[in-house]
Structure 1
Amino acid sequence: MALSQGARPLRVYKETTQLLRYGILRQEPPWYRVVASVPPSTILVRTTPVEFGAPQDGPIAGDRRVKKSKRFFRPRHIQYPEDDLRKTFFADHPWELARPRILVEDSGNDSLNYDWSKLQQPGRALDGESVIQRQMWLMENENLSKSAAYDVARKEFYRLRMRSDIERRIAAEEARSVGAFFGKSHLQVGLELEEKALLAWKIKAQEAVARKQQRIEAMANPGSIDTETGDEDTTTDEAGSTGAPEVRVGQAEQSNT
Protein backbone atom coordinates (compact mmCIF):
# COMPACT_ATOMS: atom_id res chain seq x y z
CA MET A 1 0.00 0.00 0.00
CA ALA A 2 1.60 3.20 -1.20
CA LEU A 3 0.97 6.11 1.13
CA SER A 4 2.58 9.49 1.22
CA GLN A 5 5.27 10.08 3.83
CA GLY A 6 3.30 12.83 5.55
CA ALA A 7 -0.06 11.01 5.54
CA ARG A 8 -2.37 11.81 8.40
CA PRO A 9 -3.92 9.04 10.51
CA LEU A 10 -7.43 9.71 9.17
CA ARG A 11 -6.29 9.46 5.56
CA VAL A 12 -4.96 5.93 6.10
CA TYR A 13 -8.47 4.53 6.40
CA LYS A 14 -9.77 6.52 3.40
CA GLU A 15 -6.93 5.50 1.12
CA THR A 16 -7.24 1.87 2.19
CA THR A 17 -10.97 2.00 1.35
CA GLN A 18 -10.18 3.28 -2.14
CA LEU A 19 -7.57 0.57 -2.68
CA LEU A 20 -10.11 -2.10 -1.68
CA ARG A 21 -12.74 -0.57 -3.97
CA TYR A 22 -10.46 -0.57 -7.02
CA GLY A 23 -9.26 -4.12 -6.31
CA ILE A 24 -5.63 -3.24 -5.53
CA LEU A 25 -6.02 -4.82 -2.10
CA ARG A 26 -7.81 -8.16 -2.18
CA GLN A 27 -8.27 -8.62 1.57
CA GLU A 28 -9.06 -6.19 4.33
CA PRO A 29 -6.20 -5.51 6.78
CA PRO A 30 -6.79 -6.81 10.33
CA TRP A 31 -7.08 -3.27 11.67
CA TYR A 32 -9.55 -2.04 8.99
CA ARG A 33 -12.84 -2.58 10.83
CA VAL A 34 -11.33 -1.52 14.18
CA VAL A 35 -10.18 1.80 12.74
CA ALA A 36 -13.62 2.24 11.13
CA SER A 37 -15.33 1.85 14.50
CA VAL A 38 -12.73 3.76 16.55
CA PRO A 39 -11.10 6.40 14.34
CA PRO A 40 -7.64 7.59 15.37
CA SER A 41 -6.94 10.99 16.81
CA THR A 42 -5.51 13.72 14.68
CA ILE A 43 -2.96 14.74 17.36
CA LEU A 44 -0.25 12.16 18.02
CA VAL A 45 1.94 14.35 20.25
CA ARG A 46 1.30 13.94 23.96
CA THR A 47 0.53 17.26 25.59
CA THR A 48 2.08 18.37 28.84
CA PRO A 49 -0.30 17.83 31.78
CA VAL A 50 -1.11 20.73 34.05
CA GLU A 51 1.07 20.71 37.15
CA PHE A 52 -0.59 20.93 40.54
CA GLY A 53 0.07 24.20 42.26
CA ALA A 54 1.09 26.00 39.07
CA PRO A 55 0.16 29.70 38.83
CA GLN A 56 -3.06 30.29 36.89
CA ASP A 57 -1.85 33.51 35.28
CA GLY A 58 1.06 31.77 33.54
CA PRO A 59 1.46 31.21 29.79
CA ILE A 60 -1.32 29.27 28.07
CA ALA A 61 -0.75 25.80 26.60
CA GLY A 62 -0.97 27.05 23.00
CA ASP A 63 1.75 29.61 23.44
CA ARG A 64 4.87 28.73 21.50
CA ARG A 65 7.08 30.23 24.19
CA VAL A 66 6.08 27.51 26.65
CA LYS A 67 9.05 25.15 27.20
CA LYS A 68 8.87 21.66 28.61
CA SER A 69 10.93 20.81 31.62
CA LYS A 70 14.03 18.69 31.03
CA ARG A 71 13.04 16.45 33.95
CA PHE A 72 9.50 15.86 32.69
CA PHE A 73 10.01 12.17 31.90
CA ARG A 74 12.20 11.42 34.92
CA PRO A 75 10.73 9.57 37.89
CA ARG A 76 9.88 11.65 40.91
CA HIS A 77 12.25 11.40 43.85
CA ILE A 78 10.72 9.34 46.66
CA GLN A 79 11.93 9.93 50.22
CA TYR A 80 11.09 7.69 53.15
CA PRO A 81 11.45 8.66 56.83
CA GLU A 82 13.95 5.81 57.33
CA ASP A 83 16.35 7.31 54.78
CA ASP A 84 17.43 10.15 57.07
CA LEU A 85 17.77 7.76 60.00
CA ARG A 86 19.96 5.40 57.97
CA LYS A 87 22.12 8.28 56.81
CA THR A 88 22.73 9.42 60.39
CA PHE A 89 23.42 5.95 61.78
CA PHE A 90 25.83 4.79 59.08
CA ALA A 91 27.64 8.12 59.13
CA ASP A 92 28.36 7.51 62.83
CA HIS A 93 29.04 3.76 62.36
CA PRO A 94 30.65 3.27 58.92
CA TRP A 95 32.15 -0.12 59.83
CA GLU A 96 28.65 -1.56 60.16
CA LEU A 97 28.47 -1.53 56.36
CA ALA A 98 31.39 -4.00 56.27
CA ARG A 99 29.46 -6.63 58.21
CA PRO A 100 27.80 -9.35 56.12
CA ARG A 101 24.06 -8.97 55.80
CA ILE A 102 21.19 -11.07 54.44
CA LEU A 103 19.38 -9.04 51.78
CA VAL A 104 16.84 -11.70 50.82
CA GLU A 105 13.35 -10.77 51.99
CA ASP A 106 9.94 -12.35 51.54
CA SER A 107 8.42 -8.95 50.83
CA GLY A 108 9.32 -5.31 51.09
CA ASN A 109 7.66 -5.04 54.51
CA ASP A 110 9.45 -7.79 56.41
CA SER A 111 10.29 -5.37 59.21
CA LEU A 112 6.58 -5.10 60.03
CA ASN A 113 6.52 -8.77 61.09
CA TYR A 114 8.72 -8.08 64.13
CA ASP A 115 7.97 -6.53 67.48
CA TRP A 116 10.25 -3.51 67.71
CA SER A 117 9.38 -2.81 71.32
CA LYS A 118 12.75 -4.49 71.88
CA LEU A 119 15.86 -4.32 69.77
CA GLN A 120 16.87 -8.00 69.73
CA GLN A 121 14.56 -10.04 67.49
CA PRO A 122 14.45 -13.87 67.32
CA GLY A 123 15.63 -15.20 64.00
CA ARG A 124 17.12 -11.88 62.91
CA ALA A 125 20.74 -10.80 63.12
CA LEU A 126 21.48 -7.59 64.95
CA ASP A 127 22.50 -4.87 62.48
CA GLY A 128 22.03 -1.22 61.71
CA GLU A 129 18.56 -1.76 60.29
CA SER A 130 17.44 -3.04 63.68
CA VAL A 131 18.53 0.24 65.27
CA ILE A 132 16.63 2.23 62.64
CA GLN A 133 13.40 0.25 63.08
CA ARG A 134 13.75 0.49 66.86
CA GLN A 135 14.19 4.26 66.57
CA MET A 136 11.10 4.53 64.38
CA TRP A 137 9.07 2.55 66.92
CA LEU A 138 10.19 4.81 69.75
CA MET A 139 9.32 7.92 67.77
CA GLU A 140 5.85 6.64 66.90
CA ASN A 141 4.86 4.88 70.13
CA GLU A 142 6.87 6.62 72.87
CA ASN A 143 6.56 10.11 71.31
CA LEU A 144 10.30 10.64 71.57
CA SER A 145 12.18 13.09 69.43
CA LYS A 146 14.50 11.95 66.70
CA SER A 147 17.68 12.52 68.73
CA ALA A 148 16.26 11.02 71.95
CA ALA A 149 15.02 7.90 70.18
CA TYR A 150 18.38 7.58 68.43
CA ASP A 151 20.23 7.73 71.76
CA VAL A 152 18.01 5.06 73.31
CA ALA A 153 18.30 2.69 70.33
CA ARG A 154 22.04 3.32 70.04
CA LYS A 155 22.74 2.50 73.70
CA GLU A 156 20.72 -0.71 73.44
CA PHE A 157 22.69 -1.59 70.31
CA TYR A 158 26.03 -1.03 72.07
CA ARG A 159 24.95 -3.14 75.05
CA LEU A 160 23.90 -6.09 72.87
CA ARG A 161 27.07 -5.86 70.74
CA MET A 162 29.31 -5.92 73.82
CA ARG A 163 27.35 -8.87 75.16
CA SER A 164 27.78 -10.83 71.91
CA ASP A 165 31.51 -10.03 71.84
CA ILE A 166 31.94 -11.31 75.39
CA GLU A 167 30.01 -14.49 74.58
CA ARG A 168 32.15 -15.11 71.50
CA ARG A 169 35.38 -14.55 73.45
CA ILE A 170 34.30 -16.93 76.21
CA ALA A 171 33.31 -19.57 73.65
CA ALA A 172 36.74 -19.30 72.01
CA GLU A 173 38.52 -19.68 75.38
CA GLU A 174 36.43 -22.74 76.25
CA ALA A 175 37.23 -24.28 72.87
CA ARG A 176 40.96 -23.70 73.35
CA SER A 177 40.81 -25.26 76.80
CA VAL A 178 39.63 -28.57 75.30
CA GLY A 179 42.28 -28.57 72.55
CA ALA A 180 40.72 -26.54 69.74
CA PHE A 181 43.08 -24.64 67.45
CA PHE A 182 42.16 -21.45 65.62
CA GLY A 183 44.05 -20.08 62.68
CA LYS A 184 45.16 -16.54 62.15
CA SER A 185 42.56 -13.85 62.35
CA HIS A 186 41.83 -11.40 59.58
CA LEU A 187 43.78 -8.70 61.38
CA GLN A 188 46.88 -10.90 61.72
CA VAL A 189 46.77 -11.89 58.06
CA GLY A 190 46.38 -8.26 57.05
CA LEU A 191 49.31 -7.16 59.21
CA GLU A 192 51.56 -9.86 57.73
CA LEU A 193 50.69 -8.82 54.20
CA GLU A 194 51.31 -5.20 55.11
CA GLU A 195 54.74 -6.02 56.56
CA LYS A 196 55.71 -7.94 53.41
CA ALA A 197 54.64 -5.04 51.22
CA LEU A 198 56.58 -2.55 53.36
CA LEU A 199 59.71 -4.74 53.28
CA ALA A 200 59.57 -5.04 49.49
CA TRP A 201 59.10 -1.29 49.20
CA LYS A 202 62.07 -0.67 51.52
CA ILE A 203 64.36 -2.83 49.37
CA LYS A 204 63.29 -1.06 46.19
CA ALA A 205 63.74 2.33 47.85
CA GLN A 206 67.28 1.46 48.99
CA GLU A 207 68.22 0.31 45.47
CA ALA A 208 66.79 3.50 43.97
CA VAL A 209 68.71 5.66 46.46
CA ALA A 210 71.95 3.79 45.70
CA ARG A 211 71.51 4.28 41.94
CA LYS A 212 70.74 7.94 42.43
CA GLN A 213 73.84 8.39 44.62
CA GLN A 214 76.03 6.75 41.97
CA ARG A 215 74.69 9.09 39.30
CA ILE A 216 75.36 12.11 41.52
CA GLU A 217 78.95 11.02 42.19
CA ALA A 218 79.55 10.32 38.49
CA MET A 219 78.29 13.79 37.55
CA ALA A 220 80.36 15.47 40.30
CA ASN A 221 83.67 13.71 39.32
CA PRO A 222 83.41 12.82 35.63
CA GLY A 223 87.23 12.24 35.15
CA SER A 224 87.94 10.29 38.31
CA ILE A 225 87.80 6.92 36.59
CA ASP A 226 90.03 7.98 33.64
CA THR A 227 92.56 9.62 36.00
CA GLU A 228 92.94 6.51 38.12
CA THR A 229 93.41 4.36 35.01
CA GLY A 230 96.07 6.73 33.68
CA ASP A 231 97.98 6.69 36.99
CA GLU A 232 98.09 2.89 36.98
CA ASP A 233 99.46 2.84 33.42
CA THR A 234 102.17 5.43 34.30
CA THR A 235 103.32 3.43 37.32
CA THR A 236 103.63 0.30 35.22
CA ASP A 237 105.70 2.07 32.55
CA GLU A 238 108.05 3.61 35.12
CA ALA A 239 108.60 0.25 36.77
CA GLY A 240 109.45 -1.35 33.43
CA SER A 241 111.78 1.45 32.35
CA THR A 242 113.76 1.46 35.62
CA GLY A 243 114.26 -2.29 35.55
CA ALA A 244 115.80 -2.42 32.06
CA PRO A 245 119.02 -0.37 32.77
CA GLU A 246 119.88 -2.54 35.78
CA VAL A 247 119.91 -5.58 33.54
CA ARG A 248 122.16 -3.82 31.02
CA VAL A 249 124.60 -2.73 33.75
CA GLY A 250 124.92 -6.30 34.98
CA GLN A 251 125.59 -7.60 31.48
CA ALA A 252 128.32 -4.96 31.00
CA GLU A 253 130.12 -5.99 34.22
CA GLN A 254 130.08 -9.65 33.17
CA SER A 255 131.60 -8.78 29.77
CA ASN A 256 134.37 -6.72 31.40
CA THR A 257 135.34 -9.55 33.71
Structure 2
Amino acid sequence: MGKINLTALRVRKTALGQFASGKTSKLPQWVEVIGEIPPAEALIRTRPPQHQLVQQRMKTVAGSSKPQVVFQVQEKRRAPKKASRLFQPVELKYEEDQLRTEFFRDHPWELARPRLLLETTGKDFEHYDWSQIQQPGKRLDGESVVQRQLWLLNNVPDMTKSNAYDIARREFYRLRLREDVERRVAAEEAQAYGAEFGPSFLDIGMKLEDVQYDKWVEWARATAQVQDQRQAALSGAPELAEEKSVTETEADEAESSL
Protein backbone atom coordinates (compact mmCIF):
# COMPACT_ATOMS: atom_id res chain seq x y z
CA MET A 1 0.00 0.00 0.00
CA GLY A 2 1.27 3.44 -0.89
CA LYS A 3 1.48 6.28 1.55
CA ILE A 4 -1.55 8.58 1.66
CA ASN A 5 -0.78 12.17 0.71
CA LEU A 6 -2.43 14.54 3.22
CA THR A 7 -0.77 17.74 2.01
CA ALA A 8 -4.06 19.25 0.84
CA LEU A 9 -5.66 18.70 4.26
CA ARG A 10 -2.78 20.47 6.04
CA VAL A 11 -2.72 23.57 3.85
CA ARG A 12 -3.98 25.85 6.67
CA LYS A 13 -1.43 24.49 9.11
CA THR A 14 1.32 25.04 6.55
CA ALA A 15 0.24 28.63 5.91
CA LEU A 16 0.19 29.43 9.64
CA GLY A 17 3.62 27.87 10.11
CA GLN A 18 5.12 29.89 7.27
CA PHE A 19 3.64 33.09 8.69
CA ALA A 20 4.94 32.33 12.18
CA SER A 21 8.45 31.58 10.89
CA GLY A 22 8.55 34.78 8.85
CA LYS A 23 8.57 33.20 5.39
CA THR A 24 5.41 35.11 4.50
CA SER A 25 4.54 38.58 5.70
CA LYS A 26 0.79 38.25 5.30
CA LEU A 27 -1.69 35.48 5.87
CA PRO A 28 -3.79 34.40 2.90
CA GLN A 29 -7.42 35.47 2.95
CA TRP A 30 -8.69 31.89 2.94
CA VAL A 31 -7.01 30.90 6.22
CA GLU A 32 -9.94 31.92 8.43
CA VAL A 33 -12.46 30.39 6.04
CA ILE A 34 -10.72 27.02 6.05
CA GLY A 35 -10.48 27.22 9.83
CA GLU A 36 -14.26 27.59 10.09
CA ILE A 37 -15.08 25.17 7.27
CA PRO A 38 -12.28 22.59 7.19
CA PRO A 39 -11.93 20.25 4.20
CA ALA A 40 -13.45 16.81 4.41
CA GLU A 41 -11.28 14.08 5.82
CA ALA A 42 -13.18 11.15 4.34
CA LEU A 43 -10.66 9.05 2.44
CA ILE A 44 -13.14 6.43 1.21
CA ARG A 45 -14.48 6.89 -2.31
CA THR A 46 -18.05 5.90 -3.00
CA ARG A 47 -19.23 4.36 -6.23
CA PRO A 48 -20.97 6.76 -8.63
CA PRO A 49 -24.75 6.41 -8.80
CA GLN A 50 -26.07 4.00 -11.40
CA HIS A 51 -28.34 5.79 -13.86
CA GLN A 52 -31.33 3.97 -15.28
CA LEU A 53 -32.99 4.52 -18.65
CA VAL A 54 -36.56 5.73 -18.03
CA GLN A 55 -39.10 5.58 -20.86
CA GLN A 56 -42.43 7.41 -20.86
CA ARG A 57 -45.37 5.75 -22.61
CA MET A 58 -49.11 6.30 -22.99
CA LYS A 59 -51.01 3.06 -22.52
CA THR A 60 -54.62 2.08 -22.32
CA VAL A 61 -55.34 0.55 -18.93
CA ALA A 62 -58.20 -1.88 -18.47
CA GLY A 63 -61.08 -0.32 -16.56
CA SER A 64 -60.07 3.25 -17.39
CA SER A 65 -61.65 5.43 -20.07
CA LYS A 66 -58.54 7.55 -20.61
CA PRO A 67 -55.01 6.39 -21.38
CA GLN A 68 -52.53 6.80 -18.58
CA VAL A 69 -48.89 7.77 -18.53
CA VAL A 70 -46.66 4.83 -17.65
CA PHE A 71 -42.96 5.08 -16.85
CA GLN A 72 -40.86 2.07 -17.73
CA VAL A 73 -37.44 1.60 -16.19
CA GLN A 74 -34.96 -0.33 -18.27
CA GLU A 75 -32.53 -2.10 -16.01
CA LYS A 76 -28.89 -2.08 -17.02
CA ARG A 77 -26.79 -5.17 -17.14
CA ARG A 78 -24.24 -4.69 -14.43
CA ALA A 79 -21.16 -6.46 -15.64
CA PRO A 80 -18.29 -6.83 -13.19
CA LYS A 81 -15.79 -4.02 -13.56
CA LYS A 82 -12.08 -3.98 -13.09
CA ALA A 83 -10.69 -2.34 -9.98
CA SER A 84 -9.18 0.46 -12.08
CA ARG A 85 -12.60 1.28 -13.59
CA LEU A 86 -14.68 0.95 -10.46
CA PHE A 87 -14.90 4.69 -9.75
CA GLN A 88 -15.19 5.99 -13.30
CA PRO A 89 -18.22 8.17 -14.09
CA VAL A 90 -21.20 6.22 -15.34
CA GLU A 91 -22.25 6.74 -18.94
CA LEU A 92 -25.52 8.65 -19.24
CA LYS A 93 -28.02 7.12 -21.65
CA TYR A 94 -31.23 8.61 -22.99
CA GLU A 95 -33.91 7.15 -25.20
CA GLU A 96 -33.11 9.69 -27.92
CA ASP A 97 -29.67 8.13 -28.32
CA GLN A 98 -31.13 4.84 -29.52
CA LEU A 99 -33.54 6.57 -31.90
CA ARG A 100 -30.77 8.79 -33.25
CA THR A 101 -28.46 5.84 -33.86
CA GLU A 102 -31.16 3.94 -35.72
CA PHE A 103 -32.09 6.87 -37.97
CA PHE A 104 -28.55 7.81 -38.98
CA ARG A 105 -27.68 4.17 -39.56
CA ASP A 106 -30.50 4.02 -42.11
CA HIS A 107 -29.75 7.50 -43.53
CA PRO A 108 -25.95 8.03 -43.41
CA TRP A 109 -26.01 10.81 -46.01
CA GLU A 110 -28.02 13.01 -43.66
CA LEU A 111 -24.80 13.55 -41.71
CA ALA A 112 -23.26 15.16 -44.81
CA ARG A 113 -25.83 17.95 -44.88
CA PRO A 114 -24.73 21.26 -43.31
CA ARG A 115 -26.28 21.92 -39.92
CA LEU A 116 -26.64 25.07 -37.85
CA LEU A 117 -25.15 24.54 -34.39
CA LEU A 118 -25.34 28.14 -33.15
CA GLU A 119 -28.26 29.14 -30.94
CA THR A 120 -29.16 32.57 -29.63
CA THR A 121 -30.15 31.69 -26.06
CA GLY A 122 -29.56 27.95 -25.88
CA LYS A 123 -33.25 27.42 -25.10
CA ASP A 124 -34.64 27.15 -28.61
CA PHE A 125 -36.06 23.72 -27.79
CA GLU A 126 -38.57 25.33 -25.43
CA HIS A 127 -40.34 26.94 -28.39
CA TYR A 128 -40.69 23.72 -30.40
CA ASP A 129 -43.92 21.76 -30.58
CA TRP A 130 -43.18 18.27 -31.84
CA SER A 131 -46.81 17.43 -32.49
CA GLN A 132 -45.68 18.29 -36.03
CA ILE A 133 -42.29 17.57 -37.53
CA GLN A 134 -41.69 20.98 -39.10
CA GLN A 135 -40.75 23.73 -36.65
CA PRO A 136 -40.50 27.48 -37.31
CA GLY A 137 -36.91 28.67 -37.30
CA LYS A 138 -35.42 25.16 -37.47
CA ARG A 139 -34.15 23.43 -40.58
CA LEU A 140 -35.57 20.00 -41.29
CA ASP A 141 -32.96 17.36 -40.46
CA GLY A 142 -32.51 14.00 -38.80
CA GLU A 143 -32.96 15.45 -35.33
CA SER A 144 -36.48 16.49 -36.33
CA VAL A 145 -37.29 12.85 -37.05
CA VAL A 146 -35.85 11.76 -33.69
CA GLN A 147 -37.80 14.33 -31.68
CA ARG A 148 -40.99 13.66 -33.63
CA GLN A 149 -40.67 9.92 -33.02
CA LEU A 150 -40.04 10.50 -29.32
CA TRP A 151 -43.11 12.74 -29.08
CA LEU A 152 -45.26 10.05 -30.69
CA LEU A 153 -43.96 7.44 -28.25
CA ASN A 154 -44.63 9.68 -25.25
CA ASN A 155 -48.04 11.06 -26.22
CA VAL A 156 -49.87 8.62 -28.51
CA PRO A 157 -51.55 5.71 -26.70
CA ASP A 158 -50.22 2.22 -27.43
CA MET A 159 -47.67 3.52 -29.93
CA THR A 160 -44.83 1.17 -30.78
CA LYS A 161 -41.31 2.16 -31.69
CA SER A 162 -41.51 0.87 -35.26
CA ASN A 163 -44.85 2.58 -35.97
CA ALA A 164 -43.59 5.90 -34.61
CA TYR A 165 -40.47 5.56 -36.74
CA ASP A 166 -42.54 4.91 -39.87
CA ILE A 167 -44.82 7.89 -39.21
CA ALA A 168 -41.91 10.26 -38.58
CA ARG A 169 -40.03 9.04 -41.66
CA ARG A 170 -43.10 9.40 -43.88
CA GLU A 171 -43.56 13.01 -42.81
CA PHE A 172 -39.84 13.64 -43.25
CA TYR A 173 -39.77 12.21 -46.79
CA ARG A 174 -42.82 14.23 -47.82
CA LEU A 175 -41.28 17.50 -46.66
CA ARG A 176 -37.92 16.69 -48.24
CA LEU A 177 -39.65 15.97 -51.54
CA ARG A 178 -41.44 19.29 -51.35
CA GLU A 179 -38.14 21.08 -50.69
CA ASP A 180 -36.60 19.45 -53.77
CA VAL A 181 -39.56 20.46 -55.93
CA GLU A 182 -39.41 24.04 -54.66
CA ARG A 183 -35.68 24.16 -55.38
CA ARG A 184 -36.10 22.91 -58.95
CA VAL A 185 -38.99 25.28 -59.64
CA ALA A 186 -36.97 28.23 -58.32
CA ALA A 187 -34.05 27.30 -60.59
CA GLU A 188 -36.33 27.00 -63.63
CA GLU A 189 -37.96 30.36 -62.91
CA ALA A 190 -34.56 32.00 -62.54
CA GLN A 191 -33.40 30.54 -65.86
CA ALA A 192 -36.61 31.75 -67.51
CA TYR A 193 -35.75 35.30 -66.43
CA GLY A 194 -32.22 35.07 -67.84
CA ALA A 195 -30.19 33.74 -64.94
CA GLU A 196 -27.11 31.71 -65.85
CA PHE A 197 -25.84 29.11 -63.45
CA GLY A 198 -22.37 27.66 -63.48
CA PRO A 199 -21.58 24.00 -64.04
CA SER A 200 -23.37 21.59 -61.78
CA PHE A 201 -21.64 19.32 -59.31
CA LEU A 202 -22.10 16.45 -61.77
CA ASP A 203 -20.35 18.37 -64.56
CA ILE A 204 -17.48 19.34 -62.27
CA GLY A 205 -17.10 15.73 -61.18
CA MET A 206 -17.06 14.51 -64.78
CA LYS A 207 -14.34 17.01 -65.70
CA LEU A 208 -12.18 15.94 -62.79
CA GLU A 209 -12.73 12.32 -63.74
CA ASP A 210 -11.68 13.02 -67.36
CA VAL A 211 -8.47 14.69 -66.17
CA GLN A 212 -7.59 11.72 -64.00
CA TYR A 213 -8.44 9.32 -66.82
CA ASP A 214 -6.08 11.15 -69.21
CA LYS A 215 -3.31 10.97 -66.62
CA TRP A 216 -3.93 7.28 -66.19
CA VAL A 217 -3.77 6.69 -69.96
CA GLU A 218 -0.39 8.42 -70.16
CA TRP A 219 0.91 6.45 -67.20
CA ALA A 220 -0.38 3.15 -68.65
CA ARG A 221 1.20 3.88 -72.04
CA ALA A 222 4.57 4.73 -70.50
CA THR A 223 4.48 1.66 -68.24
CA ALA A 224 3.58 -0.64 -71.12
CA GLN A 225 6.39 0.81 -73.25
CA VAL A 226 8.94 0.25 -70.49
CA GLN A 227 7.78 -3.34 -70.03
CA ASP A 228 7.97 -4.03 -73.78
CA GLN A 229 11.47 -2.61 -73.98
CA ARG A 230 12.56 -4.71 -71.02
CA GLN A 231 11.16 -7.89 -72.57
CA ALA A 232 12.73 -7.08 -75.95
CA ALA A 233 16.10 -6.47 -74.33
CA LEU A 234 15.93 -9.84 -72.60
CA SER A 235 14.93 -11.60 -75.83
CA GLY A 236 17.65 -9.87 -77.87
CA ALA A 237 15.31 -8.14 -80.37
CA PRO A 238 14.99 -4.42 -79.42
CA GLU A 239 13.67 -3.51 -82.90
CA LEU A 240 10.42 -5.37 -82.12
CA ALA A 241 9.73 -3.11 -79.17
CA GLU A 242 10.33 -0.01 -81.30
CA GLU A 243 7.96 -1.25 -84.00
CA LYS A 244 5.30 -2.05 -81.39
CA SER A 245 5.59 1.38 -79.79
CA VAL A 246 5.27 3.07 -83.20
CA THR A 247 2.18 0.99 -83.98
CA GLU A 248 0.56 1.89 -80.64
CA THR A 249 1.30 5.58 -81.19
CA GLU A 250 -0.33 5.50 -84.63
CA ALA A 251 -3.37 3.71 -83.18
CA ASP A 252 -3.72 6.32 -80.43
CA GLU A 253 -3.50 9.14 -82.98
CA ALA A 254 -6.19 7.47 -85.09
CA GLU A 255 -8.49 7.14 -82.07
CA SER A 256 -7.94 10.77 -81.09
CA SER A 257 -8.72 11.93 -84.63
CA LEU A 258 -12.02 10.04 -84.55
Partner residue, 2:99: 85
Displacement of 1:106 in angstroms is: 3.8
Correspondent of 1:121 among 105, 121, 135: 135
Structure 2 equivalent of residue 49 of structure 1: 46
CA shift for structure 1 position 112:
3.4
Q: What is the rounded CA distance, in whole Å, between the counterparts of 1:26 and 1:51 in structure 2?
A: 42
Q: Quote the residue 1:112 is aligned against.
A: 126
Distance (Å, rounded) in 2 between the aligned partners of 1:125 and 1:157: 12
Counterpart of 1:189, as a letter, is: I
In structure 2, the partner of 1:189 is 204
CA shift, 1:16, in A, is 4.1
Structure 2 counterpart of 1:48, one-letter code = R
Q: Structure 1 residues 74, 26: CA separation in 2 closer, same or farther (over 3 Å shift)? A: closer
Give the drift of 1:141: 1.0
Query: Paired residue for 2:218, among 203, 206, 209?
Result: 203
CA deviation after TM superposition for structure 1 residue 169, in Å? 1.0
Q: 1:163 to 1:52 in 2, by over 3 A?
A: closer
Structure 2 unaligned segments of length 5 or more: list them: 1-5, 51-80, 240-258
Is residue 149 of structure 1 aligned with residue 164 of structure 2?
yes
- Encode CA deviations 1:162-193: one digit per residue, 9 max, x unaligned: 11111111111111112111111122212211
Deviation at 1:153, TM superposition (A): 0.6
Distance 1:25 1:129, change over 3 A: closer
CA distance in 2: counterparts of 1:121 and 1:178, whole angstroms:
32
Q: Which has the higher helix share?
A: 1
Q: Where does structure 1 lack aligned partners over 5 or more consecutive residues? A: 1-5, 54-66, 226-257
Who is 1:249 aligned against? Answer: none
Which structure would you say has the larger RCO, counting Cα contacts within 8 Å and 6 or more residues apart? 2
Cα–Cα, structure 1 residues 80 and 108, in superposed 2: closer, same or farther, change >3 Å? farther
How many residues are treated as equivalent by the alignment?
201
RMSD: 3.8
For 1:136, give the aligned amino acid.
L
| Aligned amino acid, residue 201 of structure 2 | H
SS in 2 for 1:70: helix
Asked if 1:169 is matched to 2:184, the reply is yes
Deviation at 1:73, TM superposition (A): 5.2
Task: Compare CA radii of gyration and give the structure with the larger one.
Answer: 1
Which structure has the highest strand share of the two? 2
What is the distance in 2 between the residues matched to 1:26 and 1:89? 65
Structure 1 Cα separation of the partners of residues 137 and 167 of structure 2: 22
In 1: Cα distance, 2:215 partner to 2:180 partner: 36
1:133 aligned onto 2:147: yes
Superposition TM-score, scaled by structure 1 size:
0.64
Q: For 2:210, give the aligned amino acid.
A: E
How far apart, in 1, do the equivalents of 2:228 and 2:148 lie?
Answer: 65
Q: Percent identity?
A: 43
| Cα distance, 1:92 vs structure 2 | 0.9
Cα distance, 1:36–1:134 mapped onto 2, change above 3 Å: closer
